[in-house]
Amino acid sequence: MGRQITFHMLQEDKEEFFRFLTPRHDVFATAWTSDSREVIRYGAPAHEKGALALWELRSETQRERKRILRDDDSVVYEFDRQNSVLEFSPSDLVTHEGSPALLQGRLYSFLNEMSVETAGLFKTARQWIKRSFEPCPFTLLGGYIGPAAMRWHRDGGVILPMFNPPATQAWEDFIKSQHQAGWPRSR
């Protein structure tokens, strides 16, 4: 089943997250999915796009990507979900029905029992998010919202789940209700 914490964060929030995390843990960050088996450490993970694999470098466990053959016969390499690796999937800015919207991101472990080092990294990250972000005011979404993302939302941005939902009446009612709640606008 795994463990996760979900969030909405903009680039400013992401930079603060890694600025906090990297001095406390020797974080190894790299792309979760690649067209190469080679694992290269990113020097500035906050500026990378897409999902990242994170782990504590001092861990002695070897992490490597495995070959995945996709339905369209293309080949990619991804980290084995049985390894003690965290998946950091950042929030993504999209457009929903003509409005700017932010998809929910997550920090996730596919394992319930992580290595001591990875568990420590997860705990530090989770505690920082809970302390530094606001709880999401929408029960349907849950998780936390970073300060920059909350300002953006209060200025009219739409908060979405991990996917851009179809334009059904239920989803459109949920989206309209976000700004009918009387949020004060940022100044």
pLDDT of residue 60: 65
Reported for 130-133, long-range contacts at CB under 8 A and 24+ positions apart, including other chains, are 130/5, 132/16, 132/20, 133/7, 133/9, 133/13
pLDDT of residue 86: 94
pLDDT of residue 185: 46
* 138, HSE (Cβ side, Cα atoms, 13 Å): 24
Q: pLDDT of 34-86, one tens digit each?
A: 999 999 999 999 999 999 999 988 766 678 889 999 999 999 999 888 888 99
**pTM of the prediction?**
0.89
pLDDT of residue 107: 97
Low pLDDT (below 50) residues in the chain = 184-187
In this structure, the number of other CB atoms found within 10 A of the CB of residue 177 comes to 11
pLDDT of residue 96: 92
pLDDT of residue 186: 46
Alpha-carbon gap, residue 95 to 165, rounded angstroms = 11
Tell me the two tokens of residue 154.
């209060």
The answer to whether 54 and 28 are in contact (CB under 8 A) is: yes
* Segment (H or E) for 93: strand 92-96
Using the structure block, give the residue that is written with the tokens 């998809």. Answer: 103
Q: Which residues are bridge partners to 30 per DSSP?
A: 53
pLDDT of residue 1: 63
The answer to whether 53 and 29 are in contact (CB under 8 A) is: yes
Residues ≥6 apart with Cβ < 8 Å to 99 = 156, 157, 158, 175
